[in-house]
């Protein structure tokens, strides 16, 4: 997440990410190097046994979290993210101006919100084109509660992150120079579609179609859901092409799904972009996460892994 959600970073340049859910805590650590592929040392889910702070204390000791910069990954519903036109103000006034724009978009008073801004790169060849930013907001009490939880567990937080940015971190490992990339991932909270280029997030969309829904529906009902998904994707692609015509998309990457669902084939038949299924083993080494060598397990850990991939990408897929 952008700077307002960060504490002052210090110590190691390596990251460990924590995601707190109703029944579990997810943790990931990726070892980064300028000369080698990212190496996943930890990517696990731990069932909760006791209060959240006690669980985090045990994990801090077991995983020696004090050696790393630590990030907390929020869940959908704990924050809002909106693409807004950047106000024409000086850079040091941007956040306060964006906050003013949000006052009619939030369902609570804007003075109760922690707000930060992520820039969307402009078309350098068209100075008159509108400039957009992502406004990321969360209730002050939500952020304060999360920071207190980690403070009580004696884990120093350097950042609070969101899944859209975590998915961007994974997508940039697959980007082709000078081209945009669409990535679609289905998880427990629904589906997330991101559009990235040059390691930056240009657009993100969410759908309520979850991984569990896709795998549990009857064939006829799933076909209806896939038709709805195609329409949502077509609208998102059209919107992206209109708003960011200076970015040419190369392909749509789909997180691994059981082949019998036929999702990749259905999308490939109905979208103008090439649709490919990715495998994380193509871009990262997995010695600390052997279960992720099974591609169908990867969507369950992709966002916590992405949160641990903060910083400059050190590898990209061919």
The pLDDT score that the predictor gives to residue 123 is 82
Hey, where are the domains in the chain? 1-77+140-174+280-318, 80-139, 175-277
pLDDT at residue 3 above 70? no
pLDDT (tens digit per residue) in 63-122: 999 999 999 999 999 999 999 998 888 888 999 999 999 988 999 999 999 999 999 988
pLDDT (tens digit per residue) in 131-180: 889 999 999 999 999 999 999 999 999 999 999 999 999 999 999 999 99
The pLDDT mean for the chain works out to: 91
175-277: CATH, from 3.40.50.720, 3.30.420.40, 1.10.3720.10, 3.30.70.580: 3.30.420.40
pLDDT at residue 9 above 50? no
Better-scored residue on pLDDT, 178 or 312: 178
Q: How far are the Cα atoms of 132, 135, 173, 196, 212 from residue 122, in angstroms, in the given order?
A: 8, 16, 21, 13, 37
Q: How far are the Cα atoms of 30, 63, 183, 213, 239 from residue 202, in angstroms, in the given order?
A: 24, 34, 12, 28, 12
Better-scored residue on pLDDT, 151 or 219: 151
pLDDT at residue 315 above 70? no
pLDDT at residue 317 above 90? no
CB–CB of 160/136 below 8 Å?
no
Mean pLDDT of 207-221: 90
Mean pLDDT of 200-218: 92
Burial call 269-305: b when 16+ CB within 10 Å, e when fewer: eeeebebeebebeebbbbebbeebeebebbbbbbbbb
The pLDDT score that the predictor gives to residue 12 is 61
Domain 1-77+140-174+280-318 sits in CATH 3.30.70.270: no
CATH class of the domain whose range is 80-139: alpha beta
Q: Is 1-77+140-174+280-318's fold the same as 175-277's?
A: yes
pLDDT at residue 17 above 60? yes
Better-scored residue on pLDDT, 129 or 8: 129
């Amino acid at each position: 997440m952008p700077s307002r959600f960060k504490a002052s970073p210090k110590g190691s340049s390596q990251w460990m990410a924590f995601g707190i859910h109703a029944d579990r805590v997810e943790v990931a650590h990726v070892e980064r190097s300028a000369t080698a592929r990212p190496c996943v040392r930890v990517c696990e889910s731990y069932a909760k046994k006791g209060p959240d702070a006690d669980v985090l204390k045990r994990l801090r000791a077991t995983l020696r979290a004090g050696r790393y910069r630590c990030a907390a990954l929020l869940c959908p519903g704990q924050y809002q993210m909106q693409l807004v036109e950047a106000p024409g103000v000086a850079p040091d006034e941007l956040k306060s101006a964006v906050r003013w724009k949000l006052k009619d978009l939030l369902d609570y008073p804007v003075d109760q919100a922690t707000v930060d801004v992520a820039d969307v790169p402009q078309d350098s060849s068209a100075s008159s084109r509108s400039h957009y930013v992502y406004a990321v907001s969360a209730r002050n009490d939500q952020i304060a509660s999360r920071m207190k939880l980690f403070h009580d567990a004696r884990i120093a937080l350097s950042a609070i992150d969101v899944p859209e940015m975590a998915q961007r971190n994974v997508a940039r490992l697959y980007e082709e120079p000078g081209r945009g990339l669409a990535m679609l991932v289905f998880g427990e909270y629904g589906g997330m579609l991101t559009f990235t280029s040059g390691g930056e997030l240009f657009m993100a969309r969410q759908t309520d179609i979850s991984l569990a829904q896709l795998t549990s529906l009857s064939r006829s009902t799933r076909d209806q859901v896939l038709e709805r998904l195609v329409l949502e994707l077509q609208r998102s692609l059209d919107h992206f092409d209109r708003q960011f015509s200076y970015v040419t998309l190369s392909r749509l990457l789909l997180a691994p799904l059981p082949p019998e669902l036929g999702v990749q084939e259905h999308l490939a038949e109905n979208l103008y972009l090439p649709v490919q299924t990715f495998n994380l083993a193509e871009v990262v080494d997995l010695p600390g996460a052997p279960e992720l060598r099974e591609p169908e397990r990867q969507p369950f850990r992709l966002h916590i892994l992405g949160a641990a991939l903060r910083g400059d990408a050190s590898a990209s897929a061919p």
